[in-house]
Structure 1
């Protein structure tokens, strides 16, 4: 399926395509366009063919919306466990990292060729350097949002940055991360240790509320945030029960329509079939990490948003 390609030859054309796409999303973040950014896909990439089939199945839903597909090739861990496709693409503890890097890169190129925009989470920025020209939206996770080196890295790239609240659900550190990323930094290159980089700062940042000890999508929390905001309908907001994403969506969509807030994005964990399974991966089309809603439920949600923007 994956042929040898000249990545250097393709890089310039891909970058130019991504710049055009990024501009649209930046206008939404600045509220120059009253639209919602929808970020969807499985919790983690685990099967290339299944995810490609999922994308082709759901892309026709979005005729009035801008959406990004989650290609989360790393899996954040509080302690131990499967760390994601890029570390172990065959899910058998063979840890073929070079295979993982190559397969993911080829997959991202395939998605760009069918005009799919891509989001990911930045855990290990050394990996991100292999994929950065293919990706529009980069998230700093709940476990890394306070990391100075992640903030420095994000201050030096042109991508849109999502900043999740920390795993406790506390939102007070969001402004600290934002302030750091939008400002200039001087630091060592991550690939050339003798090279000093001077970043210009990155102002294209969104906060991502993903819940914590308790959910944090309620209006009492949202009304105090004065920055572009995406609500994660999954993770701790849903208490890890996929079906709860429907109720969270209803709440947030009403906030977006009727109340003053900075909400201009939603995130869902969805896949071909409902639920999840163990890492042993006995069943097809089911997430091996967090539980997901299926394409039928997703279509009901997206149809409702489409109808709102058709008025």
Structure 2
């Protein structure tokens, strides 16, 4: 179906991903203390722009684990552009054969240097890319999906599960219980009829707000936490991510389970209409511009808590 024969990982690169995954798992299990920074555009819309963005990204701090957002598909509350994987040329040609090949080639290349994170919307698609990914998010619109929970219970990497779009934190507890435990479910990917999963204990709660922000509430969780500085926590105003971030830093020593933050961040500030696309500007959610990147790194490093 897709010409991916020449896009296989070599052993050296697999070892790099394997080591990355062990490190992230140990952070979740609180065996080591490092701070996770998940950063990147709301969605990939132009490969050349994204590569230029990556070339600017540097991390000289050993105690900060940098995960790059590579979001190739986008959830929609109703309708709209569903991401690069479905419509890479943004012309409704839906050249999915092209996009799967292009995205896999991109991931193979950049996963040699970076930890990569993405959202799992279509669990058929992610099987083309799973060997390049270190952190997988289950989003606010799919977190109650039984088939997503079953799929995650069979993965051997860190899963970030978001609260739902209304901010219900009980959904997190239900999803945690489901993903951590053994599951039996239909196998769509191979000839065997069923998968018997062992359960996945490497789970982080991702707080993204709901009807109101939820980054500053009294959070009584023993689980590893990632605070999403964007979405409903920022009221979808990109510059507000900095306010959320600084508030989180003030809480850090009170809430020992905050293991990281997430930003929607790109070359230029804001977003744009899909009909007149300009360089370096998000076509989905509004993003912070690049000048804030080193400010964020320095603020995290200044915690001096590692």
TM-score (norm 2): 0.95
CA distance in 1, matches of 2:188, 2:15: 24
1:305 to 287, 300, 305: 300
* SS in structure 2 of the partner of residue 143 of structure 1: coil
Partner of 1:280: 275
Q: CA deviation at 1:282?
A: 2.6
Tell me whether 1:15 sits opposite 2:11 in the alignment.
no
Partner of 1:228: 224
Partner of 1:244: 240
Q: CA deviation at 1:59?
A: 2.1
Structure 1: unaligned runs, 5 residues or longer: none
Cα–Cα, structure 1 residues 138 and 182, in superposed 2: closer, same or farther, change >3 Å? same
Partner of 1:6: 6
Tell me whether 1:87 sits opposite 2:86 in the alignment.
yes
1:174 to 172, 175, 183: 172
**For 1:174-210, what per-residue CA distance to the aligned partner results, in whole angstroms no more than 9, with x for missing partners?**
0110011011111111223652111011100000000
Partner of 2:109: 110
CA distance in 2, matches of 1:127, 1:83: 13
Cα–Cα, structure 1 residues 263 and 95, in superposed 2: closer, same or farther, change >3 Å? same
Q: CA deviation at 1:295?
A: 1.0
Tell me whether 1:37 sits opposite 2:36 in the alignment.
yes
Cα–Cα, structure 1 residues 151 and 246, in superposed 2: closer, same or farther, change >3 Å? same
Q: CA deviation at 1:4?
A: 7.8
CA distance in 2, matches of 1:103, 1:96: 11
Partner of 1:262: 257
Q: Does structure 2 retain, via aligned residues, the 8 Å contact 1:63–1:306? A: no
Cα–Cα, structure 1 residues 79 and 102, in superposed 2: closer, same or farther, change >3 Å? same
Q: Does structure 1 retain, via aligned residues, the 8 Å contact 2:168–2:210? A: yes
CA distance in 2, matches of 1:35, 1:48: 30
CA distance in 1, matches of 2:30, 2:217: 19
Partner of 2:197: 199
Partner of 1:48: 47
CA distance in 1, matches of 2:116, 2:234: 23
TM-score (norm 1): 0.93
Kindly tell me the number of residue pairs found equivalent between the two proteins: 304
Cα–Cα, structure 1 residues 61 and 91, in superposed 2: closer, same or farther, change >3 Å? farther
Q: CA deviation at 1:15?
A: 3.0
Partner of 1:68: 67
* SS in structure 2 of the partner of residue 37 of structure 1: strand
**For 1:28-55, what per-residue CA distance to the aligned partner results, in whole angstroms no more than 9, with x for missing partners?**
1122222211100000111111111111
Q: Does structure 1 retain, via aligned residues, the 8 Å contact 2:34–2:63? A: no
Partner of 1:292: 287
CA distance in 1, matches of 2:89, 2:81: 11
CA distance in 2, matches of 1:188, 1:281: 43
Q: Does structure 2 retain, via aligned residues, the 8 Å contact 1:64–1:310? A: no
* SS in structure 2 of the partner of residue 218 of structure 1: coil
Cα–Cα, structure 1 residues 252 and 186, in superposed 2: closer, same or farther, change >3 Å? same
- When the two chains are superposed, the root-mean-square deviation of aligned CA atoms in Å is 1.8
Structure 2: unaligned runs, 5 residues or longer: none
Q: Does structure 2 retain, via aligned residues, the 8 Å contact 1:155–1:200? A: yes
* SS in structure 1 of the partner of residue 159 of structure 2: strand
Alignment of 1:209-220 (within 5 A): 209-220=207-218
